[in-house]
Each structure stands twice: as structure tokens, then as C-alpha cells.
Amino acid sequence: MQVKKAVIPAAGLGTRFLPVSKALPKEMLPIVDKPTIQYVIEEAVAAGIEDILIITGRNKQAIEDHFDRSIELELVLRQKNKNDDLKNMQQISDLANIFYIRQKEPLGLGHAVLCARQFIGNEPFAVLLGDDVIHARVPCIGQMAEVYSQKGNTVLGVQQVGWENIHKYGAVESDENPGSAVRVKRLTEKPSREEAKSDLAVLGRYIIDPDIFSILENTAPGSGGEIQLTDALNTLAGRQPVWAYTFEGRRYDVGDRLGFLEATIEFALRREDLAPGLKAFLADLKLDQF
């Protein structure tokens, strides 16, 4: 079955990025000149996904405005003959069929995904975290859709993050030898260094069987008092195959200050119009000068 729908959870409070995330959704933080969530949507669209549900919450209005038409702006750009800008602005609102639902309280990622139940119905679906950007030659969720079409079961996008970092992620345990796709034996949300059985972490991309919804409904709050998607996926892995696929690409957690800065630098250095100036600036920067 083809994956045609995606869910982008974007209702979290972004407490790791205060104060900017107090009124500005962290998913709207710009990487160079484009909001983070636009990169995420473009990744889904490049993988052939047509219908996208964004899970929003209070203070997230800017996301809806960004993907809506801006008639006044278009009028001004037309009057000024800024045709390229005009085309770019119109393309944003034509990217995909975007739908919204509010998660009334940020009760956790698992709860956010459960809000998508009506929209998804009974088909496999993609989940892309709204603050995770992946630079890859083949869009990460497209790589995973390919694996899904071979396996026919849930696929988690994973990479090794190092033992010192595994406590920040959902960790994968498998009995199989390391390979590009291994069957998941157990998943643990934010294990301590000692508890973790591997440093293979789930990194913000999932293709999930719809059976997850009935599991999520009965999943109690876990780590951090939140309803964790990892816990529900762990239950799912006990009932049917779940695969951990090591995707090709570099992933940035833009909801983390350092991740945001790293993403900004990589994406800027890939831009012909900005790279020479940025490189020269970094080479000349003397912090003790003033």
C-alpha cells in the first residue's frame, strides 16, 4: 500500500528554545530564509505525499498564515513586477493539501499523533516531526516509503547517535546484526546510558501502521509525564514486525539551540549567494577584538 498521508506534529511548547518560542512557533524558526516546517513539508511532497495534517496548538497561528495565500503581498509584488518572488510566494500555498487540527493540550507526541486518527483512517501514514530537518540526497521519508513498500510494516528512521546522547531519544533494541533495516525487539524512550542496549535512536521520521491508534488510546503517560509515541510503538513491535531503517542523510533538531545553529550554517554554506560571504566572515571573526 502506498503512503499518501503525513502527519506533522507541531504543537509542542518548545521549552528548550525559550524565550523565542514563547510567542513564535519553533517550527517557524528560519533556516536561512525558510521556516523549518516548510523544509519538512517539502520533504513529504518530494516523496509523493499529497495530504498533510499539521497538529497545531495555541500560539501556532503563524504556521497556518505561512501556508495560506497572502493576497495583499501578492498584489504588491505584482505591482512592483517582482515576478519571481510572486511565483515563490504562490508556490508555498500550493505545496500540498494541508489540513490542521489542534491538540488542545501538549500531552506528548503520542497524544499528538492520536489527534490524527480521523484524518488517517485505516491506512499506513508518515509522521515527520515539525522541528526536525534532514539534509539528504533522497528525501528521508522517501527512502523509508521504499522500505515500507518492501516490508509492508511500520518503519522507523534511525541513526547511531553515540552512547553519550542516547538518553535524549527513543532507543532501538534488536537481535539482528546491524544492517540498513533491522527488526525492532524493543523500544525505550530516553533510556539512561546504563539502561540503553544500543545507541540506535529514532530520529523524527516514521511510517506507521494504523493499528497504532488503538494502542495509543490505551498508552499511559510515560517519560516526562507525556504520552509517548515510543511506548506505543514498543507495544506495536510486540504484535507485528516493526523495522528500524538507518537512513542516509544528516538530521538536525531545530528545536535545540545548537541543532538550529548547525542547520543554519550547513544550509547557508550550500547557498551560492551566501557561502562566500559567510565563509569569509567566519574566517575573519575575532571574538576578542571588541
Is residue 117 within 8 Å of 213, Cβ to Cβ? Answer: yes
Phi, psi of 173 (to 5 degrees): -120, 135
186: which 3 cell numbers? 524493543
Q: Is 130 in the site for ligand UTP (CB under 6 A)?
A: yes
Q: Is 259 in the site for ligand UTP (CB under 6 A)?
A: no
Q: Is 24 in the site for ligand UTP (CB under 6 A)?
A: no
Is residue 55 within 8 Å of 46, Cβ to Cβ? Answer: no
Smallest gap from residue 289 Cβ to ligand UTP (A): 34
Cell match 552512547: residue? 163
Q: Which stretch binds ligand UTP (CB under 6 A): 66-74, 100-108, 172-180, 206-214?
A: 100-108
Phi-psi label, residue 55: left if phi above 0, alpha if psi -120 to 50, beta otherwise: beta
Q: Is 114 in the site for ligand UTP (CB under 6 A)?
A: no
Q: Is 15 in the site for ligand UTP (CB under 6 A)?
A: yes
275: which 3 cell numbers? 557561502
Taking CB under 6 A as the criterion, the residue among 103, 154, 174, 198 binding ligand UTP is: 103
| Virtual torsion, Cα 159, 132, 195, 180, nearest 10 deg | -20
Measured from the CB atom, the residue of 10 and 49 that comes closer to ligand UTP is 10
Q: Which stretch binds ligand UTP (CB under 6 A): 70-78, 106-114, 266-274, 282-290?
A: 106-114
What is the identity of the amino acid at 172? V
Taking CB under 6 A as the criterion, the residue among 106, 124, 157, 170 binding ligand UTP is: 106
Smallest gap from residue 95 Cβ to ligand UTP (A): 18
Smallest gap from residue 100 Cβ to ligand UTP (A): 12
| Cα separation, 156 vs 101, whole angstroms | 24
| Size of the chain, expressed as the number of residues it contains | 290
Taking CB under 6 A as the criterion, the residue among 28, 41, 55, 237 binding ligand UTP is: 55
Q: Is 14 in the site for ligand UTP (CB under 6 A)?
A: yes
User: Measured at CB, which residue is nearest to ligand UTP?
Assistant: 12
Q: What is the DSSP letter of 21?
A: G
Is residue 69 within 8 Å of 186, Cβ to Cβ? Answer: no
Is residue 95 within 8 Å of 81, Cβ to Cβ? Answer: no
Taking CB under 6 A as the criterion, the residue among 32, 107, 265, 278 binding ligand UTP is: 107
Smallest gap from residue 113 Cβ to ligand UTP (A): 8
Q: Is 167 in the site for ligand UTP (CB under 6 A)?
A: no
| Cα separation, 258 vs 279, whole angstroms | 19
What is the identity of the amino acid at 53? L
Q: Which stretch binds ligand UTP (CB under 6 A): 28-36, 81-89, 102-110, 209-217?
A: 102-110
Binding site for ligand UTP (CB under 6 A): 9-17, 55, 103, 106-109, 111-112, 129-131, 255
